[in-house]
Amino acid sequence: MTAPSGRLEGKVAVVTGAARGTGEATARLFAAEGARVVVADVNDEGGQRVAGDLGDSGLFVHCDVSSSDDWAGLTAATVERFGRLDVLVNNAAVLLLAGIEHTSVADYERVFRVNELGTFLGIQAAIEPMKAAGGGSIVNISSIDAVFVSPGTAAYAAGKFAVRGLTKTAALELGRFGIRVNCVCPNAGNLDMVVESLPPGLDRETVRRSLERVDRALPIGRSGTVDDVAHAALFLASDDSSFFTGADLVPDGGISAGMIVRGGPGT
Protein backbone atom coordinates (compact mmCIF):
# COMPACT_ATOMS: atom_id res chain seq x y z
CA MET A 1 0.00 0.00 0.00
CA THR A 2 1.14 3.53 -0.72
CA ALA A 3 2.25 5.92 1.99
CA PRO A 4 -0.33 8.46 3.23
CA SER A 5 -0.45 11.60 1.11
CA GLY A 6 -3.09 13.79 2.77
CA ARG A 7 -5.87 12.95 0.31
CA LEU A 8 -8.54 13.72 2.92
CA GLU A 9 -6.83 16.67 4.58
CA GLY A 10 -9.42 18.99 6.12
CA LYS A 11 -12.33 16.59 5.63
CA VAL A 12 -14.61 15.13 8.29
CA ALA A 13 -15.77 11.56 7.78
CA VAL A 14 -18.25 9.25 9.46
CA VAL A 15 -17.58 5.51 9.13
CA THR A 16 -20.22 3.08 10.38
CA GLY A 17 -19.43 -0.40 11.60
CA ALA A 18 -15.96 0.92 12.40
CA ALA A 19 -15.24 -1.06 15.56
CA ARG A 20 -13.60 -3.87 13.59
CA GLY A 21 -12.95 -5.31 10.15
CA THR A 22 -13.45 -3.20 7.04
CA GLY A 23 -14.85 -0.25 8.97
CA GLU A 24 -11.89 -0.15 11.34
CA ALA A 25 -9.41 -0.35 8.45
CA THR A 26 -11.28 2.46 6.68
CA ALA A 27 -11.39 4.69 9.74
CA ARG A 28 -7.67 4.24 10.37
CA LEU A 29 -6.76 4.86 6.72
CA PHE A 30 -8.92 7.99 6.53
CA ALA A 31 -7.29 9.40 9.66
CA ALA A 32 -3.84 8.65 8.24
CA GLU A 33 -4.87 10.56 5.11
CA GLY A 34 -5.72 13.67 7.15
CA ALA A 35 -9.41 13.26 7.94
CA ARG A 36 -11.08 13.70 11.29
CA VAL A 37 -13.08 10.53 11.72
CA VAL A 38 -16.24 9.68 13.62
CA VAL A 39 -16.23 5.99 14.49
CA ALA A 40 -19.83 4.77 14.63
CA ASP A 41 -20.85 1.33 15.90
CA VAL A 42 -23.05 -0.54 18.37
CA ASN A 43 -19.87 -2.15 19.73
CA ASP A 44 -18.95 0.48 22.31
CA GLU A 45 -15.74 -1.16 23.51
CA GLY A 46 -14.32 -1.71 20.03
CA GLY A 47 -15.45 1.68 18.76
CA GLN A 48 -13.92 3.52 21.69
CA ARG A 49 -10.67 1.61 21.19
CA VAL A 50 -10.43 2.62 17.52
CA ALA A 51 -11.40 6.25 18.15
CA GLY A 52 -8.96 6.42 21.06
CA ASP A 53 -6.15 5.25 18.81
CA LEU A 54 -6.94 8.13 16.44
CA GLY A 55 -6.40 10.71 19.19
CA ASP A 56 -7.81 14.18 18.64
CA SER A 57 -8.78 13.19 15.10
CA GLY A 58 -11.20 10.53 16.34
CA LEU A 59 -14.60 10.47 18.00
CA PHE A 60 -16.72 7.47 18.91
CA VAL A 61 -20.50 7.69 18.72
CA HIS A 62 -22.77 4.76 19.52
CA CYS A 63 -25.09 4.25 16.56
CA ASP A 64 -27.59 1.58 15.63
CA VAL A 65 -27.82 2.32 11.91
CA SER A 66 -31.39 1.02 11.76
CA SER A 67 -32.50 3.83 14.11
CA SER A 68 -33.30 7.26 12.67
CA ASP A 69 -32.90 8.75 16.15
CA ASP A 70 -29.38 7.34 16.42
CA TRP A 71 -28.52 8.81 13.02
CA ALA A 72 -29.78 12.22 14.13
CA GLY A 73 -27.61 12.00 17.22
CA LEU A 74 -24.60 10.87 15.17
CA THR A 75 -24.74 13.73 12.68
CA ALA A 76 -25.37 16.26 15.45
CA ALA A 77 -22.36 14.99 17.42
CA THR A 78 -20.21 15.10 14.28
CA VAL A 79 -21.04 18.71 13.51
CA GLU A 80 -20.75 19.74 17.16
CA ARG A 81 -17.26 18.22 17.49
CA PHE A 82 -15.77 18.86 14.05
CA GLY A 83 -18.00 21.56 12.54
CA ARG A 84 -19.01 19.81 9.33
CA LEU A 85 -19.58 16.51 7.50
CA ASP A 86 -17.83 15.80 4.20
CA VAL A 87 -17.73 12.01 3.88
CA LEU A 88 -20.02 9.20 4.96
CA VAL A 89 -19.07 5.54 4.59
CA ASN A 90 -22.09 3.30 5.07
CA ASN A 91 -20.23 0.15 6.02
CA ALA A 92 -22.18 -1.38 8.92
CA ALA A 93 -23.67 -4.74 7.94
CA VAL A 94 -24.72 -8.14 9.18
CA LEU A 95 -24.41 -11.41 7.30
CA LEU A 96 -26.85 -14.33 7.20
CA LEU A 97 -25.91 -17.59 5.50
CA ALA A 98 -28.98 -19.82 5.14
CA GLY A 99 -31.04 -21.41 2.43
CA ILE A 100 -34.30 -19.68 1.53
CA GLU A 101 -36.39 -22.43 3.11
CA HIS A 102 -34.43 -22.04 6.34
CA THR A 103 -34.53 -18.23 6.47
CA SER A 104 -37.10 -16.90 8.93
CA VAL A 105 -38.98 -13.66 8.38
CA ALA A 106 -37.35 -12.27 11.52
CA ASP A 107 -33.85 -13.04 10.24
CA TYR A 108 -34.63 -11.60 6.81
CA GLU A 109 -35.98 -8.40 8.36
CA ARG A 110 -32.93 -8.12 10.66
CA VAL A 111 -30.57 -8.22 7.69
CA PHE A 112 -32.71 -5.76 5.75
CA ARG A 113 -32.90 -3.27 8.61
CA VAL A 114 -29.14 -3.08 9.07
CA ASN A 115 -27.86 -3.49 5.52
CA GLU A 116 -30.42 -1.63 3.42
CA LEU A 117 -32.49 0.52 5.76
CA GLY A 118 -29.33 1.50 7.63
CA THR A 119 -27.79 2.74 4.39
CA PHE A 120 -30.97 4.62 3.46
CA LEU A 121 -31.13 6.34 6.84
CA GLY A 122 -27.44 7.22 6.62
CA ILE A 123 -27.88 8.91 3.25
CA GLN A 124 -30.95 10.72 4.51
CA ALA A 125 -29.16 11.96 7.64
CA ALA A 126 -26.10 13.17 5.71
CA ILE A 127 -27.97 15.36 3.23
CA GLU A 128 -28.42 18.51 5.30
CA PRO A 129 -24.94 18.64 6.89
CA MET A 130 -23.34 17.92 3.51
CA LYS A 131 -25.41 20.62 1.84
CA ALA A 132 -24.24 23.00 4.57
CA ALA A 133 -20.63 21.96 3.84
CA GLY A 134 -21.08 22.69 0.13
CA GLY A 135 -21.14 19.05 -0.93
CA GLY A 136 -19.68 15.73 0.02
CA SER A 137 -19.12 12.09 -0.80
CA ILE A 138 -21.22 9.14 0.34
CA VAL A 139 -19.62 5.72 -0.07
CA ASN A 140 -21.90 2.72 0.34
CA ILE A 141 -20.19 -0.60 0.99
CA SER A 142 -22.14 -3.27 -0.88
CA SER A 143 -20.67 -6.67 -1.82
CA ILE A 144 -19.63 -8.95 -4.65
CA ASP A 145 -22.92 -10.66 -3.73
CA ALA A 146 -24.59 -7.65 -5.35
CA VAL A 147 -22.85 -8.50 -8.64
CA PHE A 148 -23.33 -12.26 -8.66
CA VAL A 149 -24.60 -14.50 -5.90
CA SER A 150 -23.98 -17.76 -4.09
CA PRO A 151 -26.51 -20.18 -2.60
CA GLY A 152 -27.44 -19.36 0.97
CA THR A 153 -27.23 -15.58 0.59
CA ALA A 154 -30.86 -14.68 -0.18
CA ALA A 155 -31.30 -12.08 2.55
CA TYR A 156 -27.78 -10.69 2.30
CA ALA A 157 -27.60 -10.53 -1.49
CA ALA A 158 -31.05 -8.99 -1.81
CA GLY A 159 -30.06 -6.24 0.61
CA LYS A 160 -26.75 -5.60 -1.10
CA PHE A 161 -28.41 -5.43 -4.54
CA ALA A 162 -30.80 -2.91 -2.96
CA VAL A 163 -27.83 -0.84 -1.77
CA ARG A 164 -26.64 -0.59 -5.38
CA GLY A 165 -30.03 0.63 -6.54
CA LEU A 166 -30.27 3.08 -3.66
CA THR A 167 -26.81 4.39 -4.51
CA LYS A 168 -27.80 5.20 -8.07
CA THR A 169 -31.06 6.86 -7.06
CA ALA A 170 -29.31 8.99 -4.46
CA ALA A 171 -26.64 9.98 -6.98
CA LEU A 172 -29.31 11.31 -9.33
CA GLU A 173 -31.14 13.20 -6.60
CA LEU A 174 -28.18 14.66 -4.71
CA GLY A 175 -25.79 15.62 -7.48
CA ARG A 176 -27.31 19.09 -7.69
CA PHE A 177 -26.09 19.70 -4.14
CA GLY A 178 -22.54 18.64 -4.93
CA ILE A 179 -23.05 15.34 -3.11
CA ARG A 180 -21.59 12.31 -4.86
CA VAL A 181 -22.87 8.81 -4.03
CA ASN A 182 -20.95 5.71 -5.05
CA CYS A 183 -20.84 2.04 -4.20
CA VAL A 184 -18.03 -0.44 -3.43
CA CYS A 185 -18.78 -4.11 -4.22
CA PRO A 186 -15.83 -6.03 -2.80
CA ASN A 187 -14.93 -9.68 -2.86
CA ALA A 188 -13.04 -9.04 0.35
CA GLY A 189 -13.74 -8.26 3.94
CA ASN A 190 -13.63 -9.64 7.43
CA LEU A 191 -13.41 -13.43 7.12
CA ASP A 192 -14.41 -13.74 10.78
CA MET A 193 -17.80 -12.25 9.85
CA VAL A 194 -18.33 -15.09 7.38
CA VAL A 195 -17.24 -17.78 9.80
CA GLU A 196 -19.42 -16.36 12.59
CA SER A 197 -22.45 -16.51 10.29
CA LEU A 198 -22.15 -20.18 9.39
CA PRO A 199 -24.92 -22.53 10.55
CA PRO A 200 -24.15 -24.56 13.71
CA GLY A 201 -22.43 -27.86 13.15
CA LEU A 202 -20.12 -26.80 10.35
CA ASP A 203 -16.39 -27.09 10.94
CA ARG A 204 -15.38 -23.42 10.94
CA GLU A 205 -11.73 -24.04 10.17
CA THR A 206 -12.53 -26.32 7.23
CA VAL A 207 -14.84 -23.67 5.77
CA ARG A 208 -12.21 -20.99 6.33
CA ARG A 209 -9.58 -23.02 4.44
CA SER A 210 -12.06 -23.75 1.65
CA LEU A 211 -12.83 -20.04 1.19
CA GLU A 212 -9.13 -19.25 1.11
CA ARG A 213 -8.56 -21.88 -1.60
CA VAL A 214 -11.31 -20.34 -3.72
CA ASP A 215 -9.76 -16.89 -3.31
CA ARG A 216 -6.37 -18.20 -4.46
CA ALA A 217 -8.04 -19.15 -7.75
CA LEU A 218 -8.74 -15.50 -8.49
CA PRO A 219 -6.99 -14.05 -11.56
CA ILE A 220 -4.99 -11.73 -9.35
CA GLY A 221 -3.77 -14.73 -7.36
CA ARG A 222 -4.51 -13.69 -3.79
CA SER A 223 -7.34 -13.11 -1.36
CA GLY A 224 -8.74 -9.64 -0.87
CA THR A 225 -8.26 -7.84 2.44
CA VAL A 226 -10.06 -5.19 4.44
CA ASP A 227 -7.29 -2.80 3.42
CA ASP A 228 -8.19 -3.33 -0.25
CA VAL A 229 -11.74 -2.24 0.52
CA ALA A 230 -10.56 0.69 2.61
CA HIS A 231 -8.42 2.00 -0.25
CA ALA A 232 -11.37 1.73 -2.64
CA ALA A 233 -13.43 3.76 -0.17
CA LEU A 234 -10.58 6.28 0.12
CA PHE A 235 -10.57 6.85 -3.63
CA LEU A 236 -14.32 7.49 -3.69
CA ALA A 237 -14.16 9.69 -0.59
CA SER A 238 -11.35 11.84 -1.99
CA ASP A 239 -11.39 14.53 -4.63
CA ASP A 240 -9.56 12.11 -6.94
CA SER A 241 -13.01 10.69 -7.80
CA SER A 242 -14.71 14.06 -8.34
CA PHE A 243 -16.30 12.88 -11.62
CA PHE A 244 -17.60 9.63 -10.12
CA THR A 245 -21.19 9.35 -8.94
CA GLY A 246 -23.71 6.53 -9.15
CA ALA A 247 -20.82 4.18 -9.89
CA ASP A 248 -20.04 0.64 -8.77
CA LEU A 249 -16.39 0.09 -7.88
CA VAL A 250 -15.74 -3.66 -7.81
CA PRO A 251 -12.48 -4.68 -6.09
CA ASP A 252 -12.85 -8.42 -6.59
CA GLY A 253 -9.47 -9.70 -7.76
CA GLY A 254 -11.00 -10.34 -11.18
CA ILE A 255 -13.52 -12.97 -10.07
CA SER A 256 -16.35 -11.31 -11.99
CA ALA A 257 -14.21 -11.64 -15.12
CA GLY A 258 -13.65 -15.34 -14.50
CA MET A 259 -11.53 -17.77 -12.53
CA ILE A 260 -8.16 -19.25 -13.40
CA VAL A 261 -8.01 -22.98 -14.19
CA ARG A 262 -4.40 -23.76 -13.30
CA GLY A 263 -2.58 -25.68 -16.02
CA GLY A 264 -5.11 -24.83 -18.70
CA PRO A 265 -4.44 -22.91 -21.92
CA GLY A 266 -3.35 -19.35 -21.31
CA THR A 267 -2.20 -19.99 -17.76
What amino acid positions are annotated as catalytic residues? Answer: 156
Provide the phi-psi class of 263: left if phi over 0, else alpha when psi is between -120 and 50, else beta: left
CB distance 47 to 74 below 8 Å: no
SS (H, E, C) the chain: CCCCCCCCCCCEEEEECCCCHHHHHHHHHHHHCCCEEEEEECCHHHHHHHHHHCHHHEEEEECCCCCHHHHHHHHHHHHHHHCCCCEEEECCCCCCCECHHHCCHHHHHHHHHHHHHHHHHHHHHHHHHHHHHCCEEEEEECCHHHCCCCCCEHHHHHHHHHHHHHHHHHHHHHHHHCEEEEEECCCCCCHHHHHHCCCCCCCHHHHHHHHHHHHHCCCCCCCCCHHHHHHHHHHHHCHHHCCCCCCEECCCCCCCCCCCCCCCCCC
